[in-house]
Amino acid sequence: MAKLILASSSPRRKELLQQLGLTFDILSPDIDESALEHENVDHYVRRLAETKAQTVLASQPDAVVLAADTSVVLEQQILGKPESKQHAFEIWSLLSAQVHEVLTGVCVATATHRESIVVRTQVAFQKLSLDDMERYWATGEPLGKAGAYAIQGIAAQYIPRIEGSYSNVVGLPLHETVQLLKAVKVLN
């Protein structure tokens, strides 16, 4: 079997992929993650996952490369990672008492085959008070997280329900990832 490479520096993706019992290396590509003008979110996350996979595959042509990109979206607006406390509070003000979507584009590529998919999960947030926001910010958890929260961490207390894949919200939809790995014959 060809060497499997995870094209990501995300510790959450690493942990999720380890849950599958797979052996893999990690190579994190440096790509431009800017959205294109008028690009819809589905296209954006799929394009980034495919670009990450192709970038790593260019230097590792005998490997199987798995790449993903996750975005938190409210009304077709991507809510990125917080750049400051004020930015995090702005994001949480938008998410408060709303249902938003988490989209992950996943790509598995080899020199001769490429499969990709976009997985969507709906996440409901409770109404957040200013005290909730202050306490959550003080934990440090929101830093570096799309949508300024981690469902697998402290933020779980603010999420009464989700519809769809939990692992997708963490950063890698495991069921769909396994299906892509089977499609390129990495798994039986």
Q: Which fold has domain 4-183?
A: Maf protein (3.90.950)
Domain segments of the chain: what residues?
Answer: 4-183
Catalytic residue among 62, 69, 131, 132: 69
164 pLDDT tier (thresholds 50, 70, 90): very high
Residues facing 123 on adjacent strands = 100, 162
- Is 25 one of the annotated active-site residues of the chain? no
Please indicate, yes or no, whether the overall pTM of this predicted structure exceeds 0.75.
Answer: yes
- Checking if the pLDDT of 188 tops 80, the result is no
Could you give the residue ranges of the DSSP H alpha helices within the chain?
Answer: 11-19, 41-59, 85-95, 130-139, 166-170, 174-183
Instruction: Express each pLDDT in 55-99 by its tens digit.
Output: 999 999 999 999 999 999 999 899 999 999 999 999 999 999 999
Can you say whether the dihedral through the CA atoms of 87, 72, 56, 25 is positive or negative? positive
